[in-house]
Structure 1
């Protein structure tokens, strides 16, 4: 299997193309909304091209969310529209992974998406994107790393979208794919062909870690005020995180329903998910980005970490425990 072949690979399951098309028709094209991306402050502006989305699973289960989601206060949930597509729901239920979003993405005739890379994405970032084509035509082409792909209805494909890719539709009909974003686990990778698995550098794979819930007392003991590096919030690359000097954003950690919430001044708020030993990932995200809280030492501190495969960058900030501030006052 060549390097180019590693950029896209067909997985085992084949689905009923007729049932997929019937559910798409029943859902109706008028219910699709313009595609949005996601930046550090949440869903971004709508795309200007004929690139439309119907969300079956989204952040907070909101059908209006056409973006892929990101760190925030809510996790991912099915939207009410999924109940109208039971066959597609069965496909999602059969994928052995925790799912982020599932979106029907439609590219209209004559539309295109310019070449770009998705970052952070892929096995080194802890999440992957799968495609199930629903309707297509010979003029609908996905190009990944210079290789053209014309995936067919009912197939299941993995693509490495961290590589340069673009899509265009020169046909006379729209191209619709069911696009599924998944957290990475061993059961999901068991679906991949053996030859692909032999080529994977397992030390570079960022596997999902389960939540280890805190007790309410533990969460309360970790409340503090801290400075958060802006590059940590901005979603910068690992290299930029280590090289870029940025002013800190003031933030506080407070307990809510047994979890901690990171509340950034004049910025976003994010729920933290404990993964062990005082380390937390951001809800809606992977362990690509974590915060380790240690208030018990001589100098209370928070360690901000970013990972990509085996790469790890860390920066430390002093923390002021909330209980200490209360005692001082």
Structure 2
């Protein structure tokens, strides 16, 4: 993790946060009692929708929509100023809140890395010393108003043991020269040797990936194969979409997993247990069935694929 050379006025951010208290929040996670205390307000989102989990929108429309400011961001000029000061393309930008006692289960976001071309930045807006936040078991003692980079493609988790609601401004950015300029030059050079995907570089053929795009519904009681998460308390809509040349699984409009074509209609699932795959069935060039197969015990879960 690296503290980046930007700082912001926490009091102003907190003041604007209070202006957004009337907005409806959506779940930022998909399983577990603790995760029901983990909620999101979108500031930049597909189509500029504050609550983006609209199951009535067609997948093709959602996937093609540009990321745009939401009504929430228009009510928060200082937060907009912060984002404008980051001169790079942005994808999902959210205020993520974790209530007292809330738990973010240990997981990885495999689609955010230098190699994938998108990084996740955090600015704590409201925090407390009794919030336990770890990346690869290294504690993150991040202070309000600081700009931080963490490698969220690694395992991370959080537990809010404090009496307050912890809120972070979470910014997904595409890598360009500005973003690289925030990091120490020696780190950038070392990372170049491992690979950096810069915004605008050629990606995998999106037409090839688009055939895997589909909508689905997770039923109440769902547990991701090979995990120890608590059952999903209520049904949730999701979809597989192409984003910046990468297949991403979205649940409640939150990006959760990365999918990589391996052979035929099989996709490697990055972000669950190693070896987990998704097997897709096609009819007329579109996905009509999908099955998650655990890399731990071979358990199979058939997704309910929704018609386009």
TM range (shorter): 0.5 to 0.7
User: What is the Cα deviation at residue 229 of structure 1?
Assistant: 9.9
Which residue number corresponds to residue 34 of structure 1? 26
Q: Superposition pairs for residues 1-329 of structure 1, below 5 Å? A: 8-28=1-21, 30-36=22-28, 48-65=35-52, 72-202=63-193, 204-209=195-200, 235-237=258-260, 241=267, 246=279, 249-250=282-283, 264=286, 266=288
User: What is the Cα deviation at residue 62 of structure 1?
Assistant: 0.6
Does the aligned pair in 2 maintain the 1:229–1:246 contact within 8 Å?
no
Alpha-carbon spacing, 1:110–1:124, altered in 2? closer, same or farther (3 Å): same
Alpha-carbon spacing, 1:245–1:18, altered in 2? closer, same or farther (3 Å): closer
Q: Name which one, 1 or 2, has greater alpha-carbon Rg.
A: 1
Following TM superposition, the consecutive aligned residue runs of length 4 or more in structure 1 with deviations greater than 4 angstroms are 44-48, 226-235, 237-248
Alpha-carbon spacing, 1:228–1:16, altered in 2? closer, same or farther (3 Å): closer
User: What is the Cα deviation at residue 75 of structure 1?
Assistant: 2.1
Alpha-carbon spacing, 1:46–1:167, altered in 2? closer, same or farther (3 Å): closer
Structure 2 unmatched ranges of 5 or more: 215-239, 241-246, 250-257, 269-274, 290-308
User: What is the Cα deviation at residue 89 of structure 1?
Assistant: 0.1
Does the aligned pair in 2 maintain the 1:227–1:251 contact within 8 Å?
no
What TM-score does the superposition give when structure 1 sets the normalisation length?
0.61
User: What is the Cα deviation at residue 198 of structure 1?
Assistant: 3.6
Does the aligned pair in 2 maintain the 1:36–1:66 contact within 8 Å?
no
Superposition CA RMSD, Å? 3.6
Alpha-carbon spacing, 1:245–1:181, altered in 2? closer, same or farther (3 Å): closer
Take 1:46 and 1:102, find their aligned partners in 2: how far apart are those partners?
A: 23
**Corresponding residue SS for 1:23:** helix
**Corresponding residue SS for 1:114:** strand
User: Which structure is higher in helix share?
Assistant: 1
Deviations 1:101-134 (A, max 9, x none): 1111110011111111112221111111100111
Does the aligned pair in 2 maintain the 1:36–1:45 contact within 8 Å?
no
User: What is the Cα deviation at residue 227 of structure 1?
Assistant: 6.7
The count of corresponding residues between Structure 1 and Structure 2 is 230
Does the aligned pair in 1 maintain the 2:281–2:287 contact within 8 Å?
no
Take 1:111 and 1:196, find their aligned partners in 2: how far apart are those partners?
A: 34
Take 1:205 and 1:179, find their aligned partners in 2: how far apart are those partners?
A: 21
Deviations 1:180-230 (A, max 9, x none): 01112222111112342243134511112179xxxxxxxxxx9x9x97699
Does the aligned pair in 1 maintain the 2:44–2:68 contact within 8 Å?
yes
User: What is the Cα deviation at residue 73 of structure 1?
Assistant: 2.4
**Corresponding residue SS for 2:87:** coil
Take 1:156 and 1:95, find their aligned partners in 2: how far apart are those partners?
A: 11
